[in-house]
Chains A and B, each alone.
Chain A
Amino acid sequence: MKPVFMTYTKKDLINLAICMILSVLVIPTFITTEYWYTSILIPWLCLALATIGQQIVMGYTGQLALGAAGFMAAGAFAMFNLILRVPDLGFVGSLIVSGLIAAAFGILFGLPSLKVRGIYLMVATLASQFFIIWMIDKFGWFKNYDSSGIITAQDIVILGKPFTTPLAMYFVCLAVTTVLTLLAMNMARGSTGRNWMAVRDMDIAAESMGVSLLRTKVQAFAISAFYCGVAGALFAFCYLKSLEPVAFDIKLSFKILFMCILGGLGTINGAFIGAAFILLFPVLLNAIGNNVFHGAIDATIISSIEQVIFGGLMIIFMIYEPLGMAKLWENIKQKWKTKIPLSTNLKSSLSKKT
């Protein structure tokens, strides 16, 4: 199929239209319970955005980094301080600037990638996770000298209008995520993404083609941290509605890593699939525990089962489908496509016989 715009085919535009109709019209009309917005849709969008950040550095550029939650914390606290101290920036302005502040941290902690790779880089990037959290805890200024440890996030106000209901917050997250996802897709499919993937697949050859390893790696880390920073700000302001460094601990980093791997390394839609799976799976297990076994299974056992299944799935995916659920989905679609023309051929040949 010929691309309609440079990087989009007609099929992509149809997919985008379907997604937009679903998320803007269908979901708000059919889902009315607050629970779905506050506990599933909003965190899903925020974490999917952070996973896109992780995808850029890990799936596309092939740099094993583990510290997404650290950059999220940087973004969240930058947002809090910007709204507090520079109110003129407005919500959108603060969101962009807090992303940029996270990106600055990304550049700083991405520098080791020039010298170390693989599992060693993972250990080096862990420094960002611990350093950022430590910094926020250590210097009271970041928390505006709040002694309680948990700060309430300010209300979201865009152009003088408050966005405080779950539905309004959902729309804020949706808008930001949609814009950033489209930008990420443009980059991934354009020359920028090709440079990233060239560095991932064969760095020596990439360098011999004129791709600068330094620039490409640092750029990927910066963009990744920007996405994580914005996601962190949304996560704190729309989902948690509070700011505490503990919320951005190493567990969240691992969660994002799992979303990235299960969703499918090197895919943008995989970020959404992975995030949805990891968020919805515990909900599903709980529902099964309550409705099928009527509470006969203890809640702690259910949460343990959840961990076991996640671990098992990670191993299964790593062995059988390293490209994750996005690839699985692709394969299913492919199978359908080959089945449909086959059946029409059969019909036509049958009709000829009779």
Chain B
Amino acid sequence: MAIERKFKIGKPILEVKNISLSFGGVKAITDTSFDVLEHEVRAIIGPNGAGKSSMLNCINGIYKPQQGTVSFKGKEIPNITPNLMAQMGLSRTFQNLALFKRMSVLDNILVGRKLHTKTNFLEVAFQLPKVKKEEKINRERSEEIISFLEIEDIKDTPVGKLPYGLQKKVELGRALATDSSVILLDEPMAGMNVEEKRDMCRFILKVNDELGTTMVLIEHDMGVVMDISDRVVVLDYGKVIGDGTPDEVRSNKKVIDAYLGVEH
């Protein structure tokens, strides 16, 4: 990138070492290692069933890999759970949308502020001054994110009633509200039209640029991935077949074979 970045790409913030995950006899991921550097946009690509979402679920603690370790911020994490990772500053979105459907857009994003909410239920019940103060800060931050994502006009709508593209945006907003240092995006652009995709790319880059948030994303659309990511890791049948800058990956023989097929 020609333009000087506000947040320079730094040391590895997230390291995945020799991860193997299988469901019964089916091997989803075999001995996979890669790392994510601070402040970079890192993409994980691969054909269907390559184990990309399983990989994110391992990083996030939803799946427990049979082998291998995940290190975050220089620490190896032994008993990994989604809650623990959230507390350490890793947030995520989901492939099939996991929004709180009956809650409004604003409330969804406010749930993302959970880790910045320290008051307990009794204090909330009696609406003590510190609850009001905290709620005010959380609401202001949420409103900021809402205007950043340009979704002000739908903020009071229940999320379940929104079209798919907007729901994806809300999910990004919820992940942003956590103020995490790393955000995992599971197919943020799936099912979107060209314009929506362009919007989403813009937001991802803007977040990375302005807040320095490290972005790890899974994507099918090769064009999009090559445009926005700093480095790309390619998975096929649960194994890493390519890792490097978009240009390196594009000229990798194995990657071309996996995507275009090989003559036998």
| Bound together | yes
Report B245 CB to chain A, min CB distance, Å: 30
A187 CA / B114 CA spacing, docked (Å): 14
Report A168 CB to chain B, min CB distance, Å: 27
Q: Which residues of A contact B99 (CB under 8 A)?
A: 201-202, 205
Which of B83, B110, B174, B178 is within 8 Å of A191, CB to CB?
B110
Question: Is B60 at the interface (CB under 8 A from chain A)?
Answer: yes
**Interface residues in A, total, Cβ within 8 A:** 30
Contact A187 B121 (CB under 8 A): yes
Which of B102, B115, B117, B131 is within 8 Å of A6, CB to CB?
B131
Report A220 CB to chain B, min CB distance, Å: 9
Q: Among the interface residues A184, A191, A202, which one has the most CB atoms of the partner chain B within 10 A?
A: A191
- Nearest CB to that of A197 among chain B residues? B103
Contact B114 A197 (CB under 8 A): no
Contact A197 B100 (CB under 8 A): yes
**Interface residues in B, total, Cβ within 8 A:** 39
Question: Which of A39-47, A208-216, A253-261, A286-294 sits within the interface?
Answer: A208-216
The residues in B between 113 and 146 inclusive whose CB is less than 8 angstroms from any CB of A are 113-115, 117, 119, 121, 124-127, 131-132, 134-136, 138
Question: Is A223 at the interface (CB under 8 A from chain B)?
Answer: yes
Report A120 CB to chain B, min CB distance, Å: 22
Contact B91 A195 (CB under 8 A): no
Q: Which residues of B contact A184 (CB under 8 A)?
A: 125
Contact A191 B124 (CB under 8 A): yes
Question: Is A140 at the interface (CB under 8 A from chain B)?
Answer: no
Given A186-B126, A201-B102, are A210 and B110 also a contact pair (CB < 8 Å)?
no
The residues in A between 165 and 211 inclusive whose CB is less than 8 angstroms from any CB of B are 183-184, 186-187, 190-192, 194-195, 197-198, 200-202, 204-211
Known pairs A194-B107, A202-B99. 15 more at Cβ < 8 A? A183-B125, A187-B125, A190-B135, A191-B114, A191-B117, A194-B111, A195-B111, A201-B103, A204-B94, A205-B99, A206-B100, A207-B82, A209-B91, A210-B83, A266-B102
